[in-house]
Amino acid sequence: MVRVAVVGAGWHGQGHINTITQIDQIELVGVCDLNENHLTKVLKKFNVPVYKNYVEMLEATKPEGVILVTPPEVRLELVREAAERGIHCFIEKPPARTLEEAQKVTEVINKTGIINSVGFMYRYSKAAEKCRELLAGRSITNVQSTMLDGIALRENWPKWFFNKGISGGPIFDQTIHIFDLSRYLLGEVEMVCGFQGNKHIQKSHDFTIEDSFSLALNYKNGPLQTHTHSWVYSGFVCQFTFVSSDMHLTLDLAEGSVRGHIDGDSISYVEEDELYKQELEAFSKAIQEKSQEPIRSSYQDSVESLSISLAMLEALETNKIVNVGDNKEQVIHIP
Ligand SMILES: NC(=O)c1ccc[n+]([C@@H]2O[C@H](COP(=O)([O-])OP(=O)(O)OC[C@H]3O[C@@H](n4cnc5c(N)ncnc54)[C@H](O)[C@@H]3O)[C@@H](O)[C@H]2O)c1
């Protein structure tokens, strides 16, 4: 059994707590949040010790790992307090608000040598893994990806998601999943550009993000990609289509499938995925084995995906093509 504590018991934190109750190898020893209502809910539902003070929880419960599920600007101090006590960290995406902060977190991780994982759960998808095998060594000309979600339509969704200065909006918060999985499957991105707009919900004091996006990415020695993103679709779609002269393959992450044809052979693969369970099982296995090997998204690697999000934000704000990596001083624009 691996002793783990959760920090941040909001929407996704409670989801992780629920997932932990389904994992035999993890013992949940404590939950911390600044919000008393969230703690009361957790205590009632999961009957686990709850704390308002993070350091107090670390000292009292002595976890081997922490799962950090706080908003993106709350990372560095939580990682530092854990890492200095030798406590391993699972950190929700996005890995940091800025590359400067990400660099500081990386330094703490490197100095302390803790096991680290970032919550890019699509890397644990069996369908994505199948797709990766099928794509290996192939020359791909085009990729079309789509992620449609109804986050901006949900009345009870945490309000900070709609404040661009905090969440960075859909590109920073959610499209980073697409950028990350694209890198995992296709390699590194060189240049980005795109268009954004408010096609369903107009901007206001409480809604400073855009809701719809059309993006383009150019890979180093790789394909061209277009990506469509929405936060105002009343369902959920997450798909990639990969094209070459002899291949048309669609990876559907909501369904857990890969379908299409390669070299004249038809491909049809479907496998049930429990992505959040799979990523936390990998984290607990890594702690048990004292090895980073089971982790598919290290903190250092996740910073490359953060770089793409920041470059894309800059491209959208300036209406320019941006080279990924030219944005080392980038911070999110507060409109
Ligand atoms: N991987 C995914 O699919 C996925 C899905 C949803 C959210 N997320 C990520 O999870 C993170 C949290 O999102 P959420 O939807 O749960 O937000 P939320 O607002 O519902 O919850 C965040 C919680 O963190 C608490 N918190 C803030 N600072 C704290 C601190 N210093 N110490 C203790 N608690 C603190 C808040 O009080 C709040 O309860 C974000 O980074 C988000 O992008 C990931």
Residue 331 in any domain: the answer is: no
3-state DSSP assignment of residue 158: coil
Instruction: Please write the tens of the pLDDT for every residue from 204-263.
Output: 999 999 999 999 999 998 999 999 999 999 999 999 999 999 999 999 999 999 999 999
Alpha helix ranges (H) inside the chain = 11-20, 36-46, 54-61, 76-83, 99-112, 126-135, 164-167, 169-173, 175-186, 275-289, 299-318
246: domain CATH number is 3.30.360.10
Rounded Cα–Cα distance for residues 178 and 123 (Å)? 10
Q: Are residues 259 and 164 in the same domain?
A: yes
Going by alpha carbons, the residue nearest to atom 36 of ligand 1 is 8
Instruction: Tell me the two tokens of residue 90.
Output: 């699972």
Residue 335 in any domain: the answer is: no
Residue 143 in any domain: the answer is: yes
CA of 126 to the centre of ligand 1 (A): 26
Q: Are residues 130 and 263 in the same domain?
A: yes
Residues 6+ apart with CB under 8 A from 182: 143, 145, 189, 217, 225, 240
What was the pLDDT predicted at 325? 78
Q: Are residues 314 and 234 in the same domain?
A: yes
Three-point CA angle 270, 275, 276, nearest 5°: 160
Residue 292 in any domain: the answer is: yes
Rounded Cα–Cα distance for residues 152 and 233 (Å)? 9
CA of 248 to the centre of ligand 1 (A): 37
115: domain CATH number is 3.40.50.720
Atom number of ligand 1 nearest to Cα 121: 1
Going by alpha carbons, the residue nearest to atom 8 of ligand 1 is 12
Instruction: Tell me the two tokens of residue 150.
Output: 């109804």
Residue 334 in any domain: the answer is: no
Q: What is the span of the domain harbouring residue 29?
A: 2-120+276-296
Which residue ranges have their beta carbon within 6 Å of ligand 1? 7-13, 32-35, 38, 54, 69-72, 74, 92-93, 119, 121, 158, 173
Pairing of strands 257-262, 224-230: unpaired
Q: Are residues 210 and 265 in the same domain?
A: yes
CA of 202 to the centre of ligand 1 (A): 25
Neighbours of 137 (CB within 10 A): 6
For residues 118 and 91, is the Cβ–Cβ distance under 8 A?
yes
Q: Are residues 42 and 14 in the same domain?
A: yes
Q: Are residues 310 and 187 in the same domain?
A: yes
Residue 254 in any domain: the answer is: yes
What was the pLDDT predicted at 251? 98
What was the pLDDT predicted at 332? 44
* Mutation choice for ligand 1 from 70, 120, 309, CB with most ligand atoms inside 8 A: 70
Residue 86 gets the label, from left (phi > 0), alpha (psi -120 to 50) or beta, of left
What was the pLDDT predicted at 334? 41
CA of 12 to the centre of ligand 1 (A): 6
Prediction pTM value: 0.95
Residue 173 in any domain: the answer is: yes
Three-point CA angle 325, 77, 99, nearest 5°: 5
Q: Are residues 270 and 285 in the same domain?
A: no
CA of 187 to the centre of ligand 1 (A): 29
**Single-letter code of the amino acid located at 307:** S
Q: How many domains does the chain have?
A: 2
Q: Which residues pair with 237 in a beta bridge?
A: 148
What was the pLDDT predicted at 25? 96
CA of 218 to the centre of ligand 1 (A): 32
Q: Are residues 153 and 16 in the same domain?
A: no
Atom number of ligand 1 nearest to Cα 12: 16
CA of 13 to the centre of ligand 1 (A): 6
CA of 325 to the centre of ligand 1 (A): 27
Q: Are residues 25 and 46 in the same domain?
A: yes
Q: Are residues 237 and 309 in the same domain?
A: yes
Atom number of ligand 1 nearest to Cα 32: 33
What was the pLDDT predicted at 221? 85
Instruction: Tell me the two tokens of residue 108.
Output: 């703490």
Residue 329 in any domain: the answer is: no
Atom number of ligand 1 nearest to Cα 120: 1
Rounded Cα–Cα distance for residues 171 and 215 (Å)? 10
What was the pLDDT predicted at 327? 57
pLDDT < 50 positions in the chain: 329-335
Q: Are residues 38 and 159 in the same domain?
A: no
Q: Are residues 90 and 163 in the same domain?
A: no
What would the DSSP string read from start to end of 241-284?
EEEETTEEEEEETTTTEEEEEETTEEEEEE----HHHHHHHHHH
Atom number of ligand 1 nearest to Cα 119: 1
**CA 28 → CA 41, 72, 116, 280, 319, distances in Å?**
16, 23, 18, 12, 47
- Rg, the chain, Cα only: 20
